Amino acid sequence: MSKGTEAPKKPGMVPPPPGEESQTFVLPPGWQSYLSPQGRRYYVNTATNETTWERPSSSPGIPASPGPHRSSLPPTVNGYHTSGTPAHPPETAHMSVRKSTGDSQNLGSSSPGKKQSKENTITINCVTFPHPDTMPEQQLLKPTEWSYCDYFWADKKDPQGNGTVAGFELLLQKQLKGKQMQKEMSEFIRERIKIEEEYAKNLAKLSQNSLAAQEEGSLGEAWAQVKKSLADEAEVHLKFSAKLHSEVERPLMNFRENFKKDMKKCDHHIADLRKQLSSRYAAVEKARKALTERQRDLEMKTQQLEIKLSNKTEEDIKKARRKSTQAGDDLMRCVDLYNQAQSKWFEEMVTTTLELERLEVERVEMIRQHLCQYTQLRHETDMFNQSTVEPVDQLLRKVDPAKDRELWVREHKTGNIRPVDMEI
């Protein structure tokens, strides 16, 4: 991976090396093969995330070999999963570099194992990663997706201070922000409901107004229908506001009411595992320091033996060798416990981040569906509003001033005999 701000590109699948996979062998549908950092091949079902060291059988229902343990995670190597390594550690993170030693059985000997010329691992905030300069290519858990479980292993510098923020904390903040956005959307719909209710109230009040109530004839009928349509429209908007409340606002408010509480539980669980990992790492460093001191003491006593041979010096050397061996055993035990803690943290991180992905998809889809319901209600309201003015349009087309005049004259006429000139 390259440094800088450019987004990392997803690597392709590692092809089988010559001789390890037969060119004529075809994996069952949905299965892919990958290499671990140590060069061991494992298989991933991309549909179920099931993984196994054993090659899956191409015949349905017939395993390739009896009974290997399968899990939803790829195999772990030395307590660390073979996928999900960050491109570069944050500059402010506490890190230490370790070189692998020779035979682990020689940890307590008077001469430390010969160190390799290249650094193999780097520890960042108590988490061990392959060294960027020497790490083998790692496959992503979900090579075809920008999945949370692949890109949030390292800590990130906190823009608000000098510390760091864990990758999982960033994911948690995003989830809580999404929940807040959902709440604000619900509040927005509530304001829309208030506007609809106030509008309906004003329409109903206006429909009772007596202005122009004395208009007569076909125009008077049309005017009366205009006022009635306001009352009908007010009823439409009241129904619209009621549906907005029951079908949009309330579901948005009630969806995952305990989401924040559940996220806190999740956060506490991951944080506890991270604390356990830090404690195990501190124990490793303490044991490593003790081993160094025991080896130094053994080396000093060995040099004394070369200068002066005595029974006392030989006894001291035997005692120092026993202590050095014990210190080596303690270090190996602490490293094993550390790897177990890191493996547990890793597995919980993968499981939890995938669950966060699922919850986020569920939340977005739920909001999308209810906003679609909102637009559908709007369309229905517009249609009902249109229906309230159709009678008005019909009466307006029937307005006939001549007919109105005839009816009025017939009702109010005072006589049709016109006056004539007076005679002398």
φ and ψ at 76, to 5 degrees? -105, 150
Q: Looking at residues 217-224, what average pLDDT do you find?
A: 94
Record the tokens describing residue 241, joined without a space.
Answer: 């506001």
| Amino acid code (one letter) for 185 | M
E strand residue ranges, 135-220: 156-157, 164-165
Distance CA 253, CA 189 (A): 11
Query: Per the confidence metrics, is the pTM higher than 0.75?
Result: no
How much is the pLDDT for 62?
Answer: 40
DSSP state of 296: H
Residue 121: pLDDT above 80? Answer: yes
What is the CA angle 162-1-139, rounded to 5? 110
In three-state secondary structure terms, 288 is helix
Give the lowest-confidence range in 93-107, 184-198, 297-311.
93-107
Q: Is the pLDDT of residue 420 over 50?
A: yes
pLDDT at 287: 95
The C-alpha atoms of residue 174 and residue 22 are separated, in whole angstroms, by: 45
Residues 6+ apart with CB under 8 A from 308: none
Q: Residue 77: its pLDDT value, please?
A: 35
Higher confidence at residue 375 or residue 39? 375
pLDDT surpasses 50 at 86: no
pLDDT band at 25 (very low <50, low <70, confident <90, very high): low
